[in-house]
């Protein structure tokens, strides 16, 4: 979207958004670099004169800084520049962080990218959080702020800045009270619908039996299926490897599938095109219409939370484990959750209320 220059004030611009609201920006130079800074929205009461006032405050501070001793004028990198260094360094130790990097750099570039690290404030981070929460899921916004915080912490370790502006920014609360998962009859219905497309069928079967996210499933290689019944998975959200399990019957079926499609050890199990990065889109485009047909279109005015999507396979894995009285710590490990609080939303599905366990304990105590 094009930024429109103010006819009244120098360095003040606005941008008309898709919802007809206006976003106001100012621009100024610092250390020879042109910086764009979002001030706020028209719907929030921001106007051109307020933007001009803010720009005046900033440029005055910059001018006053010119009279400081040279030692005080430490040339701090911009957020864009330091984020590049941060992810370059991470790539040495973690080859899998390309997609995380692409996601975060996109959000950085369109917000605070051109601002020096030491000039970014808590208020600006909170504004990003507010803006992003209008178009992205709470968990995604929390992930973006978490990555920004990691960048600032790294800059602090390297003594480039004194404080992390994300430190006291609170995460957005996520409503985990309801989790849509597939009942066994719904799973049977889905399997029957997919049986003529082996790629989709086994993609869904591994989603249901490992709980892997979309990106995790797309990056499973033939060599990740181990002879001992384990399967190596990569968690792109937490940037870590972990292992799931596949039973002997499913493993045999997968080996037949691998042989049928002549897949080599280093091939991606579910790659159907020459373009690796297209896999996520491919499976979304193939599966979502099927989910809509089987489940979503049958519910009038369905909420986003109740909609069946690819991620529902992950919820189904954890939910069915809980229904079968799998210990919550075991589910946490199998889901590769970093925090038990994330796993606790499945605990309410467990049929066990502890009565049988207490009964067994009491019987043991009596027999002593």
Question: Domain containing 85: what range?
Answer: 75-174
Same domain, 118 and 196: no
B/e letters for 133-149, b = 16+ CB within 10 Å, e = fewer, are eeeeeeeebbbbbebbb
Count other C-beta atoms under 10 Å from residue 46's C-beta. 18
Q: Can you tell me the distance from the alpha carbon of 218 to that of 102, in angstroms, rounded to the nearest whole number?
A: 17
Residue 21 located in a structural domain = yes
Q: What is the CATH number of the domain that holds 263?
A: 1.10.443.10
**Is residue 202 situated within a structural domain?**
yes
Asked if pLDDT for residue 330 goes beyond 90, the answer is yes
For residues 30-42, give the mean pLDDT.
Answer: 84
Q: Of 121, 149, 174, at which residue does a domain stop?
A: 174
| 3-state SS, residue 354 | coil
Query: Of 39-53, 67-81, 135-149, 256-270, where does mean pLDDT reach its minimum?
Result: 67-81
Q: What is the pLDDT of residue 75?
A: 54
Tell me if 47 sits within 8 A of 89, measured CB to CB.
no
Whether residue 189 is found in the same domain as residue 278: yes
Assigned domain for 88 exists: yes
CA dist., res. 123 & res. 155, Å (int): 19
One domain for residues 87 and 167: yes
Query: Where is 281: in which H helix or E strand?
Result: helix 279-294
Q: Please list, residue by residue across 66-99, b when 16 or more beta carbons sit within 10 angstroms of its beta carbon and e when fewer do.
A: eeeeeeeeeebbbbeebbeebbeebeeeeebeee
Q: Look at residue 365 and tell me if it is in a domain.
A: no
The answer to whether residues 192 and 149 belong to one domain is no
* CA separation for the pair 313, 208 (Å, rounded): 5
| Domain finish residue from 148, 174, 200 | 174
Average pLDDT estimate for 337-348: 90
Rounded-to-integer distance, Cα 345 and Cα 349, Å: 8
Do 80 and 69 fall into the same domain? no
How high is the pLDDT of residue 72? 38
For residue 361, tell me if it sits in a domain: no
In this structure, are 330 and 200 located in the same domain?
Answer: yes
Condensed to tens digits (0 to 9), the pLDDT of residues 232-242 reads 999 988 889 99
pLDDT digits over 268-305, tens only?
999 887 776 678 889 999 999 999 999 999 998 888 88
Q: Report whether pLDDT(249) > 90.
A: yes
Q: Tell me what pLDDT residue 177 has.
A: 58
* Residue where the block lists tokens 């079968």: 324
pLDDT at position 70 is 40
The token pair that represents 330 in the structure block: 């075991």
Handedness of CA 278, 283, 247, 325 (dihedral sign): positive
Provide mean pLDDT across the span 1-10. 89
> Pick from 25, 27, 21: which is nearest to 42 by CA?
21
State mean pLDDT over 136-165: 89
From 140, 174, 208, give the residue that closes a domain. Answer: 174
User: What integer is the mean pLDDT of 329-342?
Assistant: 93
358 in any annotated domain = no
Q: Please tell me whether residues 243 and 312 are part of one structural domain.
A: yes
195 is a domain residue:
yes
Residues 114 and 162 in one domain: yes
User: What band does 11 get if pLDDT is binned at 50, 70 and 90?
Assistant: very high
Which pLDDT score, from 0 to 100, does residue 211 have? Answer: 97
Please, is 368 exposed, middle or buried when counting C-beta atoms within 10 Å of its C-beta (0-12, 13-18, 19+)? exposed
Paired tokens of 313: 């396979």
Tokens, residue 310: 């690819």
- Whether 367 is covered by a domain: the verdict is no
**pLDDT above 90: percentage of residues in the chain:** 52
Q: Are residues 63 and 81 in the same domain?
A: no
Residue-wise pLDDT for 44-102, tens only, equals: 888 999 999 989 888 887 777 654 334 334 456 889 889 988 988 887 766 666 777 87
Q: What is the CATH number of the domain that holds 16?
A: 3.30.160
Residue 265 and residue 207 in one domain: yes
Q: What is the mean pLDDT of the chain?
A: 87
pTM of full prediction above 0.75: no
User: If DSSP codes are grouped into helix, strand and coil, which group holds residue 60?
Assistant: helix
Look up the CATH number of the domain holding residue 169: 1.10.150.130
Residues 158 and 250 in one domain: no
């Amino acid at each position: 979207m094009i930024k429109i220059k103010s006819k009244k004030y120098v360095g003040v611009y606005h941008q008309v958004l898709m919802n007809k609201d206006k976003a106001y920006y100012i621009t100024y130079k610092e250390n020879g670099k042109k910086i764009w800074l979002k001030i706020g929205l028209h719907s929030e009461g921001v106007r051109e004169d307020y933007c001009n006032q803010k720009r005046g405050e900033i440029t005055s501070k910059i001018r006053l800084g010119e009279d400081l001793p040279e030692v005080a004028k430490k040339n701090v990198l911009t957020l864009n520049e330091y984020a590049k260094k941060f992810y370059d360094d991470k790539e040495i130790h973690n080859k899998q962080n390309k997609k995380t990097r692409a996601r975060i750099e996109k959000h950085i570039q369109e917000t605070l990218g051109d601002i020096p690290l030491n000039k970014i404030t808590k208020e600006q981070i909170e504004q990003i959080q507010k803006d992003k929460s209008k178009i992205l899921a709470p968990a995604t916004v929390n992930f973006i702020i978490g990555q920004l915080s990691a960048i600032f912490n790294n800059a602090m370790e390297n003594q480039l800045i004194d404080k992390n502006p994300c430190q006291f920014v609170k995460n957005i609360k996520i409503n985990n009270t309801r989790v849509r998962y597939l009942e066994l009859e719904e799973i049977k219905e889905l399997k029957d619908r997919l049986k003529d497309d082996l790629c989709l069928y086994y993609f869904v079967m591994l989603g249901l039996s490992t709980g892997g996210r979309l990106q995790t499933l797309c990056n499973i290689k033939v060599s990740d299926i181990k002879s001992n019944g384990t399967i190596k998975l990569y968690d792109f959200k937490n940037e870590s490897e972990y292992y799931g399990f596949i039973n002997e019957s499913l493993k045999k079926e997968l080996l037949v599938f691998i042989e049928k499609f002549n897949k080599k050890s280093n091939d991606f199990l579910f790659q159907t095109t020459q373009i690796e990065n297209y896999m996520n889109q491919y499976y979304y485009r193939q599966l979502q219409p099927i989910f809509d047909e089987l489940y979503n279109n049958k519910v009038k005015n369905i909420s986003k939370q109740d909609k069946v999507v690819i991620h529902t396979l992950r919820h189904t894995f954890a939910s069915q484990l809980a229904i079968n009285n799998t210990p919550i710590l075991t589910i946490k490990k199998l889901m590769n959750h970093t925090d038990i609080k994330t796993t606790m939303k499945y605990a309410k599905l467990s049929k066990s209320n502890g009565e049988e366990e207490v009964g067994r304990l009491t019987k043991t105590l009596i027999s002593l």
